């Protein structure tokens, strides 16, 4: 906050922005800044306004007028804007602070602004980086988190512990193609471009942050809120990403979930009596230290609407479950480091498959049935044992 106060006193800056995700204390900070500016008598007038995503200029002008004790008689927005402009022109020095969700011109709402009005300064807050950039601010501050200490609220900017989202775009592309999240795309590259655009939008809203080596990070608090919202009944998500479940929740075996994402590192076995008739995406994650036995042969029997399936470190030995053949709506299948599989012929029945990945999984032989996958757009095979069979697969796929 002291840096913001110093920027207000600097004649070089007449537009200052404070950005950060919702709830981190931007509005609280700017109100305290306004209070201190009044106490230090830096400005003759201090006004506040909220700019919505679809700005209503008359409403904003009304807020400014209320701050200044003005009554409007003019009918047009331009006429109304002239009143506070005249009031706030030099030699009056004024500070206005806005909470912004959309963009608006200062002059259009009655705030004199520009080189001819250096005594008028604007401090705006927004949770959207592009809104701050659109206002061409001379000084920009980014707030991440205000933390609570034993003796009150600290204004020190620190991060919550963060979770790294490794290779986020890869998985989002696979899931997105699988559940047909993208409209009007013809290739995986187009889906990837769409995902990158989504990620950029989330970063602009401070819901994601840049990490190392091309990864992105998400605050634990943001992740937990997202999971909480997604887990509401109307959204039909079941997500367990932190806790190591000892068994599949008994009450969660026969519901209308659309998405399930579970860590099964603490389970001794996976059930064979699951019924999820509306399930579109299933993601299961285990680890190498787990003693989880092979998947039950009928494991996928109650998931016939499944469109995207991702298994990470789920040990599979021998053959894929025969119930996999029933997933005829499946469009994306990823088996990441799932052990040694000597029979994957069940995949030949998945004729709608567009994405197939065996990354890190050891496959003894690619069966001839895999040539039936005429819709395949992406085939991942890093660290497979059967690379000598790839020319045969490619020839079958081309034909």
Domain final residue, candidates 142, 157, 172: 157
Indicate whether 365 belongs to any domain.
yes
Distance CA(97)–CA(6), nearest Å, equals: 16
pLDDT bracket for residue 164 (50, 70, 90): very low
Segment 241-251 shows an average pLDDT of 71
Closest listed residue to residue 301, CA positions, set 267, 325, 283: 325
pLDDT of residue 146 exceeding 60, the answer is: no
Q: Which domain holds residue 303?
A: 231-398
Which residues, including other chains, have CB under 8 Å from residue 370's CB and lie 6 or more apart?
Answer: 344, 347, 348, 393, 396, 397
H/E stretch holding 58 reads: helix 57-68
Indicate whether 100 belongs to any domain.
yes
Indicate whether 391 and 268 sit together in one domain.
Answer: yes
Whole-number pLDDT of residue 304: 93
Indicate whether 143 and 237 sit together in one domain.
Answer: no
pLDDT of residue 399 exceeding 60, the answer is: no
Domain final residue, candidates 127, 157, 187: 157
Indicate whether 135 and 270 sit together in one domain.
Answer: no
State the total domains in the chain.
Answer: 2
Preceding peptide of 91 cis, ω within 30°: yes
Indicate whether 146 and 287 sit together in one domain.
Answer: no
Query: Which tens digits make up the pLDDT trace of 313-354?
Result: 888 888 888 999 999 999 999 998 888 788 888 999 999 999
CATH number for the domain spanning 281: value is 3.80.10.10
Kindly write down the DSSP assignment for every residue of 110-160, as one continuous string: T---SGGGTTEEEEEEES-HHHHHHTT-SEEEE---EEEETTEEEEEE-PP
Indicate whether 325 belongs to any domain.
yes
Distance CA(316)–CA(394), nearest Å, equals: 25
β-strand partners of 236: none
Indicate whether 58 belongs to any domain.
yes
- Evaluate whether 294 touches 316 at the Cβ level (below 8 Å): yes
pLDDT of residue 393 exceeding 80, the answer is: no
Distance CA(64)–CA(58), nearest Å, equals: 10
- Percent share of the chain, pLDDT over 90: 13
Indicate whether 195 belongs to any domain.
no
β-strand partners of 334: 310, 357
Segment 16-20 shows an average pLDDT of 87
Which residues, including other chains, have CB under 8 Å from residue 375's CB and lie 6 or more apart?
Answer: 331, 351, 352, 353, 354
Query: Which tens digits make up the pLDDT trace of 117-126?
Result: 667 888 888 8
Whole-number pLDDT of residue 398: 44
Domain final residue, candidates 157, 176, 197: 157
In the DSSP assignment, the letter for residue 359 is T
- Evaluate whether 393 touches 371 at the Cβ level (below 8 Å): yes
Indicate whether 370 belongs to any domain.
yes
Distances (CA, A) of 325 to 182, 304, 330: 26, 10, 10
- Evaluate whether 81 touches 49 at the Cβ level (below 8 Å): no
Indicate whether 122 and 8 sit together in one domain.
Answer: yes
Query: Which tens digits make up the pLDDT trace of 38-63?
Result: 888 888 888 888 877 777 888 888 88
CATH number for the domain spanning 126: value is 3.40.50.300
Q: What is the pTM of this model?
A: 0.69
């Amino acid at each position: 906050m002291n840096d913001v106060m110093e920027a207000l006193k600097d004649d070089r800056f007449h537009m200052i922005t404070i950005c950060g995700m919702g709830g981190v204390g931007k509005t609280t900070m700017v109100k305290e800044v306004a209070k201190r500016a009044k106490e230090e008598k830096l400005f003759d007038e201090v006004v506040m306004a909220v700019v919505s995503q679809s700005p209503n200029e008359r409403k904003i002008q009304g807020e400014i007028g209320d701050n200044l004790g003005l009554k409007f008689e003019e009918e047009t927005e331009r006429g109304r804007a002239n009143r506070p402009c005249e009031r706030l022109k030099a030699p009056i020095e004024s500070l206005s602070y806005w909470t912004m969700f959309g963009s608006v011109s200062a002059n259009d709402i009655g705030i004199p602004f520009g080189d001819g009005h250096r005594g008028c300064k604007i401090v705006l807050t927004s949770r959207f980086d592009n809104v701050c950039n659109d206002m061409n601010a001379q000084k920009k501050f980014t707030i991440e988190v205000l933390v609570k200490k034993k003796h009150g609220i600290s204004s020190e900017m620190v991060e919550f512990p963060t979770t790294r989202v490794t290779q986020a775009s890869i998985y989002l592309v696979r899931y997105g193609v699988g559940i047909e999240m993208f409209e009007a795309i013809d290739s995986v590259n187009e889906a990837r471009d769409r995902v990158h655009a989504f990620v950029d939008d989330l970063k602009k809203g401070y819901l994601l942050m840049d990490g190392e080596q091309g990864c992105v990070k998400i605050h634990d608090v943001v992740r937990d809120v997202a999971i909480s919202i997604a887990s509401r009944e109307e959204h039909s998500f079941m997500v367990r990403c932190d806790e190591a479940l000892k068994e599949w929740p008994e009450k969660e075996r026969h519901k209308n979930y659309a998405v399930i994402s579970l860590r099964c590192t603490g389970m001794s076995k996976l059930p064979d009596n699951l019924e999820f008739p509306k399930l579109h995406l299933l993601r299961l994650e285990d680890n190498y230290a787990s003693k989880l036995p092979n998947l039950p042969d009928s494991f996928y029997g109650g998931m016939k609407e499944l469109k995207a399936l991702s298994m990470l470190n789920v040990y599979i030995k021998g053959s894929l479950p025969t119930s996999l053949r029933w997933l005829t709506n499946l469009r994306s299948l990823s088996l990441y480091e799932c052990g040694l599989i000597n029979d994957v012929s069940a995949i030949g029945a998945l004729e709608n498959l567009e994405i197939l990945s065996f990354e890190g999984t050891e496959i003894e032989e690619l069966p001839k049935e895999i040539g039936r996958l005429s819709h395949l757009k992406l085939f991942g095979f890093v660290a497979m044992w059967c690379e000598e069979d790839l020319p045969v697969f490619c020839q079958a796929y081309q034909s």
